Amino acid sequence: MSTLEIKDLHVTVETEDGAKEILKGVTLTIKDGETHAIMGPNGSGKSTLAYTIAGHPKYTVTGGEILLDGEDVLEMSVDERARAGLFLAMQYPVEIPGVSVANFLRTARTAIDGEAPKLRTWVKEVNAAMEANGLDATFSQRSVNEGFSGGEKKRHEIAQLGLLNPKVAVLDETDSGLDIDALKVVSEGVNRFAANGDKGVLLITHYTRILRYIKPDFVHVFVNGRIAEQGGPELADQLEAEGYDKYIKAAV
């Protein structure tokens, strides 16, 4: 059982002209078994929301709350958030030269479980995760994200998702830059995760394309640091037909 509650969240970033408010009161509850899609134009604050949930130090919470099963997420370090069951797949995953995918995954899993996974079963798990995401077995010996294609980065993120088995996954534009084959593989990975039943998914996307493969229970339109509209999957169809214009005009 897990519930992620975001209540009236206000977030600023430091700019040359001082603090700028990016999130202007975001309220959203993701219960287990639910997939929520956040859709919105570039610059509306979607990544800011993802990074704030994960605890990126660049973002300052000036108001509101984030609770995971009633626990105050904002009081937790980045590591504690991961241990508590939060997972973020970043829009632009970072390179970690000199650290192999295999070592990175093992370290992450060890940090979350509090003990190292048994080597023999772990190697099998990693190989299965690579295969499930259409990655060659030798892929796990490469440095994390170094020289990865856009598709490889996203496949790797979804392999991580499967191996780390969080409670709530925040996926920031996991669909961007993917060709149709990679999009299907990545979507299947997310669907496998969501099919566990007690998992929450927050799927951030700019395009409706991925929603042909991942069916959200709820769709939220995100504009100018706020949720401008919410609905069911039919809202995604409406956005596909009409775009964000009407919401952008209403937000200014």
Where on the chain is the footprint of Mg ion (CB under 5 A)? 8, 25, 46-47, 91
Q: How far is the CB of 81 from ligand ADP (least distance, A)?
A: 18
**Cβ proximity of 230 and 220 under 8 Å:** yes
Of the pair 39, 101, the CB lying nearest ligand ADP is at 39
- Return the structure tokens found at 64: 């509101």
Question: Which of the choices Mg ion, ligand ADP, none does residue 45 contact, using the CB cut-off of 5 to 8 A by kind?
Answer: ligand ADP
Instruction: Say whether residue 19 binds ligand ADP (CB under 6 A).
Output: no
Q: How far is the CB of 62 from ligand ADP (least distance, A)?
A: 14
Of the pair 87, 222, the CB lying nearest ligand ADP is at 222
Only one of the segments 42-50, 180-188, 207-215, 243-251 lies at the binding site for ligand ADP (rule: CB under 6 A); that segment is 42-50
Q: How far is the CB of 42 from Mg ion (least distance, A)?
A: 7
Of the pair 126, 202, the CB lying nearest Mg ion is at 202
Scan residues 54-83 and list those touching ligand ADP (CB under 6 A). 58
The residue from 2, 35, 48, 208 that contacts ligand ADP (CB under 6 A) is: 48
Distance CA 212, CA 208 (A): 7
Q: Tokens 């010996």 — which residue?
A: 141
Distance CA 181, CA 195 (A): 21
Of the pair 13, 132, the CB lying nearest ligand ADP is at 13
Only one of the segments 35-43, 62-70, 80-88, 121-129 lies at the binding site for ligand ADP (rule: CB under 6 A); that segment is 35-43
Question: Which of the choices ligand ADP, Mg ion, none does residue 44 contact, using the CB cut-off of 5 to 8 A by kind?
Answer: ligand ADP
Q: How far is the CB of 22 from ligand ADP (least distance, A)?
A: 4
Q: How far is the CB of 65 from Mg ion (least distance, A)?
A: 12
Report the b/e string of 220-249 with b at 16+ CB within 10 A.
Answer: bbbbbbbbbbeeeeebbeebeeeebeebbe
The residue from 1, 15, 234, 245 that contacts ligand ADP (CB under 6 A) is: 15
Instruction: Say whether residue 43 binds ligand ADP (CB under 6 A).
Output: yes
The residue from 46, 106, 153, 154 that contacts ligand ADP (CB under 6 A) is: 46
Look at residues 75, 111, 74, 85 and name the one whose alpha carbon lies nearest to residue 201. Answer: 85
Instruction: Go through the chain and tell me how many residues it has.
Output: 252
Residues that bind ligand ADP (CB under 6 A): 13, 15, 20, 22, 40, 42-48, 58
